[in-house]
Structure 1
Amino acid sequence: MAKNIQFALLGFGQIGKKHAQFIKNCPNAELIAIIESNLNQIPAENSIPVYDSLDSFFAKGNNADVVDVCTPNFLHAKNSLEVLEHGCHVLCEKPMGLTKAECEKVIDKSLKKGKSVFVVMQNRYSATALWLKSLMEEMILGKIYLVQTNCYWNRDQRYYSGSEWKGDVKKDGGVLFTQFSHFVDMLYWCFGEMHSFHSTFENYNHPYLPHFEDTGSVQFHFANGGMGILNFSTAVWDKNLESSITVIAEKGSLKIGGQYMEKIEYCHIQHYTAPCLDLKKAHFSHGTYVGNDAHHFLSIQNVVETLQGRSSISTNAMEGLKVVEMIESMYCNK
Structure 2
Amino acid sequence: MMNFAIIGCGRISYKHVEAIVNNHPEARLIAVCDIIEERAKKKAEEYVEKMAAQEILVETPTIYTHYEDLLKNTSVDIVAIATESGKHAKISIDAMNAGKHVIVEKPMAMTIEDADRMIEASERNKVKLCVCHQNRFNPAIQKLRQAVEEGRFGRIIAGNARILWNRNEEYYRQAPWRGTKKQDGGCLMNQCIHNIDLLQWMLGGEVEQVNAMLGNFTHPYIEMEDYGSLQIRFKNGAIGNVEGTVCVYPQNLEETLTILGEKGTVVIGGKAVNKVQVWQFEDGKDSLEQVQKACDREIENIYGSGHISLYRNAIDSIVKKSTPYIDGIEGKKAIHIILKVYEIS
The change in CA–CA distance for 1:222 and 1:45 in structure 2 (over 3 A counts) is closer
Report the aligned-residue RMSD: 2.2
Q: After the TM superposition, which parts of structure 1 deviate over 3 Å for at least 4 consecutive aligned residues?
A: 278-281, 288-293
Are residues 1:224 and 2:223 paired?
no
User: Structure 2 CA distance, aligned partners of 1:232 and 1:87?
Assistant: 38
1:178 corresponds to which letter in structure 2? Answer: N
What's the CA shift for 1:72?
0.6
1:14 corresponds to? 11
- Residue 232 of structure 1: SS of its match in structure 2? strand
Q: Is the 8 A contact 2:164 2:244 kept in 1?
A: yes
Are residues 1:43 and 2:55 paired?
no
1:309 to 320, 329, 334: 320
The change in CA–CA distance for 1:23 and 1:289 in structure 2 (over 3 A counts) is farther
What's the CA shift for 1:291?
8.7
Residues 153-302 of structure 1 mapped to structure 2, 5 A cutoff: 153-193=165-205, 194-209=207-222, 211-272=223-284, 273-274=286-287, 275-277=290-292, 278-280=295-297, 292-302=303-313
User: Structure 2 CA distance, aligned partners of 1:22 and 1:290?
Assistant: 15
* TM, length-normalised to structure 1: 0.90
Residues 315-330 of structure 1 mapped to structure 2, 5 A cutoff: 315-330=326-341
What's the CA shift for 1:224?
2.2
The change in CA–CA distance for 1:217 and 1:44 in structure 2 (over 3 A counts) is closer
User: Structure 2 CA distance, aligned partners of 1:44 and 1:269?
Assistant: 46
Q: Which runs of 5+ in 2 are unaligned?
A: 46-59
Are residues 1:104 and 2:104 paired?
no
What's the CA shift for 1:215?
0.9
What's the CA shift for 1:240?
0.8
The change in CA–CA distance for 1:228 and 1:44 in structure 2 (over 3 A counts) is closer
- Residue 172 of structure 1: SS of its match in structure 2? coil
Q: Is the 8 A contact 1:120 1:315 kept in 2?
A: yes
Are residues 1:333 and 2:344 paired?
yes
User: Structure 1 CA distance, aligned partners of 2:153 and 2:161?
Assistant: 17
User: Structure 2 CA distance, aligned partners of 1:323 and 1:136?
Assistant: 19
* TM, length-normalised to structure 2: 0.88
Q: Is the 8 A contact 1:35 1:54 kept in 2?
A: yes
Higher mean C-alpha deviation, range 42-51 or range 194-203: 42-51
Q: Is the 8 A contact 1:8 1:67 kept in 2?
A: yes
Percent identity (aligned) = 28
User: Structure 1 CA distance, aligned partners of 2:274 and 2:66?
Assistant: 38
The change in CA–CA distance for 1:85 and 1:312 in structure 2 (over 3 A counts) is closer
Query: What is the aligned length?
Result: 323
